[in-house]
Every structure is written in C-alpha cells, then in structure tokens.
C-alpha cells in the first residue's frame, strides 16, 4: 500500500505543506526538523508521486542535457571531456531535487521521430553543450522554452556561458614569449570539412596572434586535418604518417608551440618523439585546454586550466534561476580562467 504525504505529516506532527517543503528541499527549516521528517518518511517507505507533484507545480523537475556523442558518429566517445560538464550539472541538479536526462544530438536532429522528451513536454529546461549546428539550435529553441548554452557557438545577451577563449590564447602565447621563445607555432586544426568549427578555435588563435604581434614574434601555423582523423581507426596509422611530414618540417629547434586542445598536444608529443624531439628540451609547448585525461596522462604539460565541473554547476544554477524568475532571463557569463600550470614542457 502506498504511503501518502498526509500519513508522513501525521507521523511527524507537522503540516502537509511543511513536510512537502522539507522533502522537496524548500523552505527554511532547522537541520534537526529536516532530519526528523526525512528519516520518518524513509522508515515509512514514502515515495513521492512525481505525476501528482508535476500537476500541482507545473514542473516535471527533469532537465535535458544535449551532447554531441551519438551512435551515428564513428567515434561516439570523441567528446569525453563533456562528461566533466555533466558531472557538475548533475551535482547541482541533484542538490535541488532535479533529474538529468541525456539527449544525443542525432535524436534532436530528427525531432519528428523523437521520443516523449519533446512530444510530451517532459523537460522543464535544457542545457546544450559544445558546437551544435545552428539549424539544430533553432529547433531546440522552438521545442524548449528555457535553454542554457554552455560553451556552444551560440552567444547572446542572455542564457549563455563561455570561457574567455581570447584570453586563453593570449595568455598561452604570452607565457611562451616570457620563457624566451622567439618564434611561435599555432597548432590548431583549422581544416575541417562539413563541420562547424567551435568558436574557441578562432578566438584562441586571435589571442595568440595579438600576443605575438605585441612582442614582434613571428607566428606560423600547423593545421591538422580533423576530417581525416575522424575516419575509421584502421586508417589512423596512414594518416598519422602523412601529418608527421608536416610536423617534422615545422617543428624547428627552439620554437614555442601552442596546442589548441589536449588531442593536439598528445598528437604533437607523439609525432615529435618519432624523430627524437622532446617537449621542454628541443621545443616548447603549452596547451590552451585541460581535461581529466590530460591531468592524468601528461601531468607535466604546461597548460591553461579549465574546470569543466565548475562550469557545469554554473550552467545548472543559471537554468534553475531562469525557471524561478520567468520574467527576467539571466545575463550571459564570460568567465575568465587565470589558472596557468607552468609544467615542464616549455
């Protein structure tokens, strides 16, 4: 037999609204009172009726998170760094008694064939991560009223969160110049076919270029064709050898390299090792980005820190703020990152 909220209230000697507020983590009650209500509800086996709660409040308490990983991609785990955002988002949502639902990009692209997530208005709001195509962004805005754009190519006055990528590039180049490198090499992967580049590529490069121009330091480019790298795994050795020829030509003695992201950094490190060149000894390199994998596999790498977990929490906080205050949308945030890990690679 299902235990009702009224029965829990009777067992605690409190009113139904007070018990409801405590179990839904609302209101200002003492820790002792909250513990009493929560422990009583648990002992009695009370489980909230999400359908009834949604009918009363007009909210489902479900938040969608759109990610690029999809079964339609050949490398569906390519964006593992997104998981760090998701951990932060989920941490904040869980504290506020919300449920996170992951939505893969390929499902959004075919909304007419989609699940109940959109057809039945299951979501209270949505957080969109990474470089989602513009036409998909428009479809999302039509389907869900409350959307936060986290590190996407969308930048508007409200509801967006970006890292200041220009300053990231500028700081990276400045650090190399201060270390004494008199020639810089941008390793950015600008050549991509049929893929909308992430905004950070252009902005990081603009920051690098300004720092180089201010110091009068020559800046060269080493573009990596990511369209080739996204092919089948069996083709990678051949593609790697093709790209190595360009690395050997450009990676001259004493040059300072700026790697767009950890993937480029690992690729550059492995490529240099093929012809016995080592970062920090024969050339310098700093990475504009940081992931958990980089911290674990290459802890000595010079890099600009990026706390995706914290960014995820801020995105969730912004979304819930917009749900509570429907008259005013939250201002967009351009967050600076000043964490420089000097490392041993430059």
Judged by average pLDDT, the poorest of 12-16, 158-162, 169-173, 241-245 is 241-245
Tell how far CA 20 is from the center of its chain: 34
pLDDT recorded at residue 245: 67
CB contact set of 263 (below 8 Å; sequence gap of 6+): none
Between 309 and 6, where is the model more confident?
A: 309
Is the model's pLDDT at 292 over the cut of 80? yes
Q: Are 187 and 257 in contact (CB under 8 A)?
A: yes
Beta bridge partners of 102: 65
Is the model's pLDDT at 193 over the cut of 50? no
Is the model's pLDDT at 54 over the cut of 50? no
Q: For the residues 75-102, what does the mean pLDDT come to?
A: 84
Between 28 and 79, where is the model more confident?
A: 28
Q: Classify residue 333 by burial, with Cβ atoms within 10 Å: 0-12, 13-18, 19+.
A: middle
Count Cα atoms within 13 angstroms, Cβ side, for 233. 6
pLDDT recorded at residue 12: 85
Q: Give the relative orientation of helices 31-44 and 5-12 as an angle to the nearest 10 degrees.
A: 130
The total of other beta-carbon atoms located within 10 Å of residue 126's CB is: 25
Query: pTM for this structure?
Result: 0.78
123 by DSSP, 3-state: which?
Answer: coil
Residue with tokens 């941008």: 186
CA distance 280 to 154: 37
Q: What are the pLDDT digits (tens) for 127-178?
A: 999 877 777 788 787 777 889 999 999 999 999 999 999 999 999 999 999 9
Q: Are 268 and 224 in contact (CB under 8 A)?
A: no
The secondary structure of residue 329, as a DSSP letter, is P
**Quick one: which of 305, 306, 307, 331 has its CA closest to 317?**
331
Is the model's pLDDT at 55 over the cut of 50? no
**Quick one: which of 81, 82, 146, 70 has its CA closest to 107?**
70
CA distance 14 to 31: 15
Q: Name the pLDDT band for 182 (thresholds 50, 70, 90).
A: very high
C-alpha to C-alpha distances, 55 to 119, 169, 295, 325, nearest whole angstrom: 17, 49, 46, 20
Q: For the residues 191-204, what does the mean pLDDT come to?
A: 74
- List the helix and strand counts (H, then E) for the chain: 15, 12
Between 300 and 41, where is the model more confident?
A: 300
Question: From start to end of the chain, where are the E strands?
Answer: 62-67, 99-104, 125-129, 147-150, 160-163, 184-187, 219-222, 256-259, 284-287, 302-304, 333-335, 340-341
Is the model's pLDDT at 252 over the cut of 90? no
- Going by DSSP bridges, is the β-strand pair 184-187/256-259 parallel, antiparallel, or unpaired? parallel
Length of the chain: 346
């Amino acid at each position: 037999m299902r235990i009702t909220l009224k029965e829990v209230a009777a067992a605690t000697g409190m009113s139904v609204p007070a018990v409801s507020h405590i179990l839904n983590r609302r209101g200002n009650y003492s820790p002792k009172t909250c513990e009493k209500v929560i422990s009583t509800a648990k002992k009695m086996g009370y489980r909230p009726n999400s359908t009834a709660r949604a009918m009363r409040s007009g909210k489902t308490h479900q938040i969608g998170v759109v990610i690029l990983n999809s079964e339609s991609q050949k490398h569906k785990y390519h964006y593992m760094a997104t998981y760090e955002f998701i951990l932060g988002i989920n941490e904040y949502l869980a504290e506020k008694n919300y449920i996170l639902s992951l939505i893969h990009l390929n499902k959004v692209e075919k909304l007419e064939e989609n699940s109940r997530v959109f057809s039945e208005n299951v979501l209270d709001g949505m957080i969109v991560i990474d470089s989602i195509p513009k036409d998909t962004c428009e479809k999302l805005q039509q389907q869900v009223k409350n959307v936060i754009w986290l590190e996407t190519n969308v930048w508007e006055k409200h509801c967006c969160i970006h890292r200041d990528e220009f300053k990231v590039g500028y700081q990276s180049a400045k650090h190399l110049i201060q270390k004494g490198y008199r020639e810089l090499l941008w390793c950015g992967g600008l050549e991509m076919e049929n893929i909308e580049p992430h905004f950070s590529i252009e902005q990081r490069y603009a920051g690098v270029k300004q720092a180089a121009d201010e110091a009068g330091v020559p800046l060269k480019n080493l573009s990596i064709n990511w369209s080739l790298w996204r092919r089948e795994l069996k083709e990678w050795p051949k593609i790697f050898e093709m790209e190595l020829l360009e690395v050997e030509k450009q990676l001259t003695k004493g040059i300072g390299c700026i790697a767009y992201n950890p993937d480029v950094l690992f690729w550059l490190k492995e490529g240099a090792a093929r012809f016995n060149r080592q970062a920090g000894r024969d050339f310098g390199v700093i990475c504009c980005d940081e992931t958990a994998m980089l911290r674990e596999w290459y802890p000595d790498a010079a890099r600009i820190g990026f706390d995706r977990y914290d960014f995820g929490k801020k995105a969730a906080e912004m979304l819930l703020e917009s749900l509570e205050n429907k008259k005013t949308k939250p201002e967009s945030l351009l967050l600076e990152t000043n964490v420089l890990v000097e490392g041993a690679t430059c």
